[in-house]
Amino acid sequence: MKPIRKAVFPVAGLGTRFLPATKAMPKEMLTVVDRPLIQHVVDEARQAGIEHCIFVTGRNKGVIEDHFDRQFELETTLLERGKKKEYELLMAELPAAGAASFTRQQSPLGLGHAVWCARDIVGDDPFAVVLPDVLVKAERGCLAQMIDAYNAIGRASNIIAVEEVPMERISSYGVVGIGKTHGKSFEITQMVEKPKREDAPSNLSITGRYILQPEIFGLLADQQKGAGGEIQLTDAMVRLSKTQPFYGVKFEGQSYDCGMKLGFLTANIAYALDRADIADELRAEIGKLLK
Ligand code: UTP
């Protein structure tokens, strides 16, 4: 069984729910405390043993590429001013030469199409897909938990991170059906995009992290438009599930949907309350606001 070494980060969306913030700046560069969303998820991927990060970018997203490159002027200035700690932080976070690739999705035709744009760079290996607008705060990263499950299953399979959501909101999500349990994962019996409450096979929603076999690309190549007029990854996964097994992993940790204002603001508070340098003062400030 081939190991999971590559991760695809689709970052070509328009981020319309965050306008006007995202008019000239990519949504994926919005910060949670002092790290852009994209850096948070790259950290998670690296902790899971990912060696090559593939970013599917689009127009107005050049700053994401700059973020993962050297910044000679800044580095020189930091060193001149004796800010060695800040300099070392920047250097430690740089991807190794050749370990980050960037490709373009010229039109935002949907998540499935964005993933398909990475096909030549991924090649014939299983790979992870990580959505940068979903942050998972967990002791062991969500992707690492999924790779643990993948290795435990021990055969070429597809894995989807899932979590419980309230039934009254179920029709906003992709939802999975639950089959036999295998350790920390379970067989997925069906996948439905945005079902009516009465048609939902469970209360478990698909949560922005996937491990997929490369056969998905052949299906994405002729995938027709689905919900919202977009080429949906879920639709291609449904087709792949006819020939390959899919497993769900109910990860341990708290997810934040940072593609929505409420999730993004909550993530900022949750991550900040974990930071020794600001937590106490932040708690006091929140206390004052709530009085
Ligand atoms: P979203 O569904 O959140 O879409 O995409 P969006 O365009 O970013 O945001 P809204 O809904 O307009 O506010 C989830 C992830 O998939 C990427 C996005 O960049 C985001 O990281 N994506 C989405 C693409 O790369 N290409 C697409 O065509 C659509």
What's the pLDDT tens digit per position in 115-166? Answer: 999 999 999 999 999 999 999 999 999 999 999 999 999 999 999 999 999 9
Whether the pLDDT of residue 193 is over 90: the answer is no
Provide the pLDDT for residue 59: 84
pLDDT band at 7 (very low <50, low <70, confident <90, very high): very high
**Mean pLDDT computed over 181-203:** 93
Q: What is the position in ligand 1's atom list of the atom closest to the CA of 9?
A: 21
- Distance (Å, whole) CA 130 – CA 109: 18
pLDDT of residue 126: 98
- Mutating to test ligand 1, I would choose from 9, 14, 28 the residue with most ligand atoms within 8 A of its C-beta, which is 14
Query: 27 CA distance to ligand 1 centroid (A)?
Result: 9
Mean of pLDDT values over 95-112:
94
Torsion angle of alpha carbons 189, 191, 196, 199, nearest 10°? -20
Q: Is residue 95 in a domain?
A: yes
- Residue nearest ligand 1's atom 1 by CA: 13
φ/ψ of 246, rounded to 5, equals -120, 135
Q: Is the pLDDT of residue 228 over 90?
A: no
* Mean pLDDT, all residues of the chain: 95
Whether 1 is covered by a domain: the verdict is no
Residues 57-65 have a mean pLDDT of: 90
Distance 70 CA to ligand 1 centre (A): 27
Confidence of residue 280 (pLDDT cuts 50, 70, 90): very high
pLDDT at residue 260, rounded to an integer: 94
CATH code for the domain of 218: 3.90.550.10
- pLDDT: which is higher, 194 or 54: 54
Q: What is the mean pLDDT of residues 37-56?
A: 97
Above pLDDT 90, what percent of the chain?
93
C-beta of residue 53 within 8 angstroms of C-beta of residue 291: no
In angstroms and rounded to an integer, the radius of gyration of the C-alpha atoms of the chain is 19
- Would you say residue 273 has pLDDT above 90? yes
Average pLDDT over residues 43-66: 95
In a domain, 25, yes or no: yes
Any domain includes 230: yes
pLDDT of residue 70: 92
Tell me the Ramachandran region of residue 44: left when phi exceeds 0, alpha when psi lies from -120 to 50, beta otherwise. Answer: alpha
Residue 104 DSSP SS3: strand
Please enumerate in sequence order all residues whose Cβ is within 8 A of that of 166, keeping only pairs 6 or more positions apart, or say none. 203
Determine the average pLDDT of the residues in 83-93: 93
Q: Whose CA is nearest to atom 18 of ligand 1?
A: 13
List all residues whose CB is within 6 A of at least one atom of ligand 1.
10-17, 27-28, 56, 105, 108-111, 113-114, 131-133, 259
pLDDT confidence of 183, banded at 50, 70, 90? confident
For the CA of 259, the nearest atom of ligand 1 = 3
Instruction: State how far Cα 41 lies from the chain centre.
Output: 6
Nearest protein Cα to ligand 1, atom 10: 15
pLDDT of res. 184: 86
Q: Measure the CA–CA gap between 76 and 284, rounded to whole angstroms.
A: 37
**Distance from the alpha carbon of residue 128 to the mean position of ligand 1, in angstroms:** 17
> Hey, whose CA ends up nearest to atom 5 of ligand 1?
13
Provide the 8-state DSSP code for 275: -
Ligand 1 centre and the CA of 15: distance in Å?
6
Tell me, in angstroms, the distance from the centre of ligand 1 to residue 4's CA.
24
Query: What own/partner pairs with CB < 8 Å and gap ≥ 24 does 164-167 have?
Result: 164/203, 164/204, 164/205, 164/250, 165/203, 165/204, 165/205, 166/203, 167/197, 167/200, 167/203
Percent of the chain with pLDDT over 70: 100
Closest residue by CA, ligand 1 atom 25: 12
Q: Whose CA is nearest to atom 3 of ligand 1?
A: 259
For residue 111, the CA-to-ligand 1 centroid distance in Å is: 7
| Cα(227) to centroid(ligand 1), Å | 14
Q: Grade residue 101 by pLDDT with cuts at 50, 70 and 90.
A: very high
Six token digits for residue 196: 């009516």
Range 234-255 average pLDDT: 97
CB under 8 Å to 155, separation ≥6 — which residues?
Answer: 1, 245
Mean pLDDT of 58-75: 92
34 inside domain: yes
Structural domain count of the chain: 1
Place of tokens 């009085």: 291
Range(s) of the domain holding residue 220: 6-290
In this model, does residue 60 exceed pLDDT 90?
no
Mean pLDDT value across residues 256-269: 97
Q: Does 276 have pLDDT greater than 90?
A: yes
Taking the centre of ligand 1 as the mean of its atom positions, its distance from the CA of residue 12, in whole angstroms, is 6
Whether residue 276 is contained in a domain is answered as yes
